[in-house]
Chains A and B, each alone.
Chain A
Amino acid sequence: MLAYLRRRILQAIPTFFGVTFVAFMLILSAPGDPVALITFNPQASDTGSAERLRRQLGLDQPALVQYVYWLAGNDWAQVDSNGDGTLDSPGTRLGLLRGDLGNSLKHRRPVSELFMERVPATLLLTMSALVLGYGLGIVLGMLAAINQGNIIDQIIRVISVIGNAVPQFWLGLLLIIIFSIQLDLLPMSGMRSISSRGDFDILETLRHMILPVFVLSLNTIAYVSRFTRAELLEVLGQDYIRTARAKGLPRNRVWWRHAIRNALLPVATFLGPAIGTLLSGAVIVEQVFSWPGLGQLTINAVFQRDYPLVMGSIVVASIMFITGVLLSDVLYAVLDPRIRLR
């Protein structure tokens, strides 16, 4: 098991560096002059002070050098911190690898600080959606398999097909119209009410979570229920199930001990991809429900051309995804010894 864990972590490392490289190159390829963005002055590019600022920020350096500084910091290298054209003093950045993602251009605060505030909200949203998606999906899948071919099976199939075809933002808008505006039952946005004055109130947060979590989990519910149904039917047709029944085991025991356990094993492989889908979906759902998470932060950063923040978002979202996939692989290896021995 430890060997498997070590191997999986080692595999994740080059992926992580690849992601940082992609994020960096994506932003580097953006049209427009960063100096003009920082000074909020489109004409600033050619002036002498712009040249100095560019040297101070290290933007005159080759792309690869900039990448290394962003990744590993520049406190160990000589940089031109006063912009006079000579590389004479060590830099101040610690670099991504030591948790320093630079400063946000808009918020004028360390990017990592902003993430500390926003990531928990996104985690809360996606993890709840994951639990709901898997829970409801498995239950629906089991119901469909038991009722194979009859009306309940048909209804669940229709739900799961439509669940995949409905755009999340649209469903969110409809639910807001129905439950927040027409019926006035649930709050339409945010994580807490204005009247709660910032105190953390678990009931209040739960009430705010109902709609976004449901909307976000719909994809997962749809996929997991279909997957569970298919796997269960497959398992129920196996010889060992007939054997178990033939040797006189009660139906319930065969169902729970023999069928469900084996059928759910493959469903667990979908955990990794599901986390990716949920993180992607969170961007849209957070926007619809004004949920103060990473997705919303990223969208705003993208529109404000806040490039350090944008690069950081890509990296942080990917770290969450890579970690999620890693954990689900490990979980799967725990559940199924055949995987880790391969």
Chain B
Amino acid sequence: MRSAEVQVAKLDHAEEEALLHSRSLLSDAVSHILHDRLTLLALGILITFTLIGIIAPPIIEGPLGIDVNRTNVVARFKQPGVDGFVLGADHLGRDQLVRLIYGGRISLAIAYASSLGIILIGVSLGLISGFYGGIVDDIIMWIINTLSAIPALFILLVASAIWEPSPEVLVFILAMLGWFGTCRLVRGEVLSIRERDFVLAAKALGATNRRLVMAHIAPNVFSIVIVTGSIIAGNLILLESGLSYLGVGVQPPTPTWGNMLTDSRNYFATGVHLVLWPGVLIVITVLCFYLIGDGLRDALDPHRRH
């Protein structure tokens, strides 16, 4: 009898604690990620790569005095570890490690920038399309259906070959041709959220359309968008490297992980290290983006977790 009473009291106490320490979605997600070691590892690697891309080039150019594009015939196909070439030298005698750093900087910057662009376009059009419906929705969906009926690489190949892109133009092309999936996803979410009671309640209280979208609907698509954003960034690394490999991405001598592999086909015998490393870095980076996406999905979706 007495112990039961104590238990009840304890329960009440625990509930009180839980109420006192109730957390917002964001802090809840952060604390979940802090306990998710795989996601933390992926995040750590990605931040390291990004920081190297930002910090290393000034050091390489300054104190070390290395020019990423200067060729050196004597050092052609130097094996990794020989004469200070940590990861060897390529067919023109350029240090592979230095080129990988510069290449990573461009590949990552392109991935970040274009996934941001894709999110911006996809989310705004998805919100408009899903919320307003009608003819606007019809037009947007027709555009999406038409453009996504062309196999992605064909139209990307042609578009980037025509405009011979600088990194900025490539970002523009990737964003303009990459937002369909995000838009569809957001539109679908909005269509279902729009019918929920809390939206009806807000409407009944006299909220304007603008307020309905910005204050009530948009925050609810936030988590799904952040998750796709991460996965899209991974896909963009793959896409950019593929385009560079085909020779229509960022043009040499500017290195990217993709175009460093373009010529490697001719040097199978002499330089296996030239084939290996750019690919390894691509795989690691893409994996990190995917893992972060998965981790975020778990962190931001309380239903899924328990």
Contacts and interface: CB of A to CB of B under 8 A. Distances in A.
A337 B153 CA distance: 34
A170 B261 contact: yes
B247 interface: yes
Interface in A170-205: 170-171, 173-174, 176-177, 181
Interface stretch (A26-34, A51-59, A67-75, A252-260): A26-34
A283 B246 CA distance: 9
Contacts of B275: 170, 173-174, 177
A31 B169 CA distance: 14
Main secondary structure of the interface of B (DSSP, over half): helix
Interface string A7-19: 0000000111011
A29 B161 CA distance: 12
Given A302-B157, A302-B161, A169 B245 contact: yes
Interface stretch (A131-139, A146-154, A316-324): A316-324
Contacts of B269: 181
Interface in A1-51: 14-16, 18-19, 21-23, 26-27, 29-31
Contacts of B279: 166-167, 170-171, 173-174
A199 to B, nearest CB: 28
Interface stretch (B70-78, B96-104, B281-289): B281-289
Interface stretch (A112-120, A208-216, A238-246, A273-281): A273-281
Given A276-B151, A302-B157, A284 B146 contact: no
A253 B142 CA distance: 45
A121 to B, nearest CB: 16
B150 A281 contact: no
A128 B279 CA distance: 26
A284 B154 contact: no
Contacts of B258: 167
A26 B261 contact: no
A26 B146 contact: no
A122 to B, nearest CB: 11
Contacts of B179: none
A164 interface: yes
A167 B242 contact: yes
Interface residues of A, number: 50
Given A283-B246, A310-B158, A318 B268 contact: no
A283 B157 contact: yes
B155 A303 contact: no
Interface string B241-259: 1100111100000000010
Contacts of A171: 279
Given A15-B146, A170-B279, A177-B275, 15 more contacts: A18-B147, A22-B147, A26-B162, A165-B290, A170-B275, A170-B283, A173-B261, A174-B275, A283-B153, A283-B157, A287-B246, A295-B153, A303-B161, A318-B150, A318-B154
Interface of B: 142, 145-155, 157-159, 161-163, 234, 238, 241-242, 245-248, 258, 261, 264-265, 268-269, 272, 275-276, 278-279, 282-283, 286-287, 290
